Structure 1
Amino acid sequence: MRLNKYIWAIAFISMFIWSCKETPKLKEQQEVEKQLSAKDILGHPEYLAMSYGGYRNVDHDIEPTIEELKEDIKLLSAMGVGIIRTYKVYLPHASNVLKAISEIKKEDPNFEMYVMLGAWINCKNAFTDQVDHSQESEENAAEINKAVTLAKQYPDIVKVIAVGNEAMVKWQALYYVQPDVILKWVNHLQNLKTIGELPKDLWITSSDNFASWGGGGDEYHVEDLNSLIKAVDFISMHTYPMHDTHYNPDFWYVPEDEVGLSDMEKIEAAMKRSLEYSKGQYQSVSDYVKSIGEDKPIHIGETGWATVSNSFYGPDGSRATDEFKEARFHELIRDYTNKNKIACFYFEGFDEPWKDANNPQGSENHFGLFTVEGKAKYALWGMVDKGVFTGLTRNGNPISKTYNGDKEALMKDVLVPPTKEEVLNHKSN
């Protein structure tokens, strides 16, 4: 009996000494594990993705301050967001976002927020009446160089560089470029990785409409696109069923066999069809990628649902925009992408009033899950109830619910999608 106690005592002491010796190695291992790459982050449900601007004013020249950016970043983190997407580096915004994250990390070493850094790409004479889609802007080189500088400065935060935003889709008539321009800069960045100028696990992509990635018409199916697909580390595609409730609305109209359903049943059916619409666009890109013999990860670089519209998507249009439908789409697309390990950079965290500055009720101003003032829209009411945002603010305001939390008042703004016949009759009148 005493011998057994002695043996156990020796074993315990040995284990204690061994654990002390191993502690530095364990710490080192934990540090390595903390250095996540894009491959680890994208599609991981514990690192939700979000598109982020954070501009609070109608005047886009008024940049968010570092403290305002910190407010937003902490709110996004509380929601479970682990990676945010920025769009351009020629303005201070992206640099300030990285600085804000870095400062938060110094205050709290356990804080995590990563960035997909966008480099804006234009054609020659973009946004003028002399647009030349056959040549690129002379400013593109400086934009790429700035993105490289920031990726080097913040390697612990920048995990992706995206070359261009909707820079190949042909309906962006004021600035789109040919795929060879995007390919040129993607290859440049990949080469910087090869020679050690950029981290080897930094992922390079371009973020564009699903059609531009081969999911659209034959006009997009060119050799330079095929080469681009081979060159990127993953595909970042956009899908917007909300916009297509106007531009391609057959999926949105209440079909004949659903006319007898209740209003809420019609809305739910339309929202589920919207999810299927996005899934179809995702599949169309996947099919094209496979058709050229490639097998690249495909993530959603943008999708979202506006809550207000006084034009195509409002009461006199497709009746798509309200907080209830936004919440349902957000829930559906998050469930689908999380289940399938697809990153979804939801568009977007906060309303930005500069996007349609001359029309306050324009839909582009109202894609946020938060209002400018920091009120949580219906999609986030449950988080407010759970105390997720307790102690956090926006513009110094504690987080509260839109509609003062009155769901009955909110539902008065929720309209049933039209039938095709209703739309045709409305047009004829």
Structure 2
Amino acid sequence: MKYTQVLNIPPGPAICYSGFRDGQKPGGPYPTYEQVKEDLLILSNNWKYLRLYDCDPHAETVLEVIKNEGLDLKVMQGVYINAEMNNFGCPWGGGVFSEEELDFNKSRNELMIQKLINLANQYSDIICCTSAGNEACVDWTDHYVPVERVIEFVKNIKANSKQPVTFCENYVPWYNKLKPLVEVVDFISIHTYPVWEHKHIHEGLEYTKQNYYSVARMYPHKPVVITEAGWATNANGMGIHPNNVSEELQAIYYNDLVNWCREDDVLCFVFEAFDEPWKGSSDVFEPEKHWGLFYENRQPKLVMQDLYSQKTE
């Protein structure tokens, strides 16, 4: 099934957007109105759809800027749900909380789901679809939420807002763990990162296609959207070999990905718009910091230089 049948949106380029700059991070300080406006003026030149991760002050500013400035952008609005169970298998040691913390998270998650519903109704002309969480069910997550709770969240969102609802997750859990969720969501959202799975650039697109079609063939009655796919430009050897990432390799993967999605009518939110210095460890070559198509200073990387020959200031 094609995504256009369910989302009722025309095909178009899509990108993940998180505008945190140097010295900013989730929880504050947040990007200002003018900083978000600068970002969206850059992105609206080439993309039609943005994916936002949480119902935080940053998302509220993004929606306000789109509305006030009359920008031709539509938003997949997500919500970040915190751990409701311990995940002792988290490979970097996170995912372990006290019972008090887990109880607090459960209450907070319900409040944030309600906030998502409120935003979806307030900005119904901008928000084209919603997501009930992000990477909260995969085995390696540090914010594990049981599938049964995600199902509750999806049902609540669907009952109280009109946009199609999904849950954003790595492709692997859709093979088994998320089967009960498939019949509840309006469409399936997968993440695919060949370079995290030690694939070289000549394997990159084919591996992404395998990830996508393996899920799509399992559930032919549900549209499948890629909500994250990208290639980093720096790495410190922790999970990604430094020789397997560069601006040149990012450009190859991005262009291959975009061409395939256009040819096969796949909606794909490229990860991501801008580098985010707050992510990961303090190592400047931490790969989590280097997935942007633009540097943190908003200058285009190699992949964007033809489209943005007039460099942003």
What is the correspondence of 1:4-403 to structure 2 with a 5 Å cutoff?
39-41=7-9, 44=11, 47-60=12-25, 61-79=28-46, 81-89=47-55, 91-105=56-70, 111-124=71-84, 129-130=96-97, 137-172=106-141, 174-192=142-160, 198-199=161-162, 202-214=163-175, 221-222=176-177, 225-245=178-198, 252=199, 270-290=200-220, 295-312=221-238, 317=241, 319-356=243-280, 358-385=282-309, 393=312, 397=313
CA contact (8 A) 2:49 2:76 kept: yes
CA apart distance, 1:128:
6.0
Cα distance in 2, alignment partners of residues 228 and 129 from structure 1: 25
**Paired AA for residue 372 in structure 1:** E
1:119-158 residue CA offsets vs partner (Å, 9 max, x unmatched): 11122377663367x9872211111011111111111101
In 2, distance between residues paired with 1:38 and 1:229? 14
1:423 corresponding residue in structure 2: none
Matched residues in 1 for 2:281 and 2:195: separation? Answer: 21
Unaligned runs of 5+ in 1: 1-35, 106-110, 193-197, 215-220, 246-251, 253-269, 398-429
Bigger Cα Rg: 1
CA distance in 1 between counterparts of 2:166 and 2:267 reads 14
User: What TM-score results when the alignment is normalised by the length of structure 2?
Assistant: 0.89
Alpha carbons of structure 1 residues 73 and 37: separation in structure 2 relative to 1, 3 Å: farther
* Structure 2 counterpart of 1:321, one-letter code: V
1:88 Cα deviation from its structure 2 partner: 1.0
Shift of 1:67: 0.9
What is the CA-CA distance between 1:357 and the residue it aligns to? 5.1
Contact persistence 2:236–2:242 (CA under 8 A): no
Match of 1:19 in 2: none
**What is the number of equivalent residue pairs in this alignment?**
299
- Using a 3 Å threshold, how does the CA distance of structure 1 residues 128 and 339 change in structure 2: closer, same or farther? closer
Structure 2: state its 5+ residue gaps.
Answer: 87-93
- The alpha carbon displacement at 1:339 in A equals 1.1
Cα displacement (A) at 1:41: 2.7
Identity of aligned residues (%): 31
What is the identity, as a one-letter code, of the residue corresponding to 1:148?
Answer: I
Q: CA deviation at 1:289?
A: 2.0
Aligned partner of 1:416 in structure 2 is none
Shift of 1:319: 1.5
* TM-score, normalised with respect to structure 1: 0.66
Which protein has the bigger helix share?
A: 1
Kept after mapping to 1: 8 A contact 2:7/2:129: no
The verdict on how the C-alpha distance between 1:146 and 1:158 changes in structure 2, with shifts beyond 3 A counting, is same
Alpha-carbon distance, 1:71 to partner = 0.9
Partners of 2:166 and 2:188 within 8 A in 1: yes
TM-fit CA distance, 1:212: 1.5
Is contact 1:38–1:203 with CA below 8 Å preserved after alignment?
yes
For residues 4-39 of structure 1, the C-alpha deviation after alignment (integer angstroms, 9 at most, x for no partner) is: xxxxxxxxxxxxxxxxxxxxxxxxxxxxxxxx9972
Tell whether the 8 Å contact from 1:125 to 1:137 is kept in structure 2 after alignment.
no
CA-CA distance at 1:363 after TM superposition: 0.8
Aligned partners of 2:24 and 2:31 also within 8 Å: no
Deviation at 1:378, TM superposition (A): 0.6
Higher relative contact order (CA 8 A, sep 6+): 2
8 A contact 1:151–1:158 mirrored in 2: yes
Contact 2:236 2:286 in 1 (8 A): yes
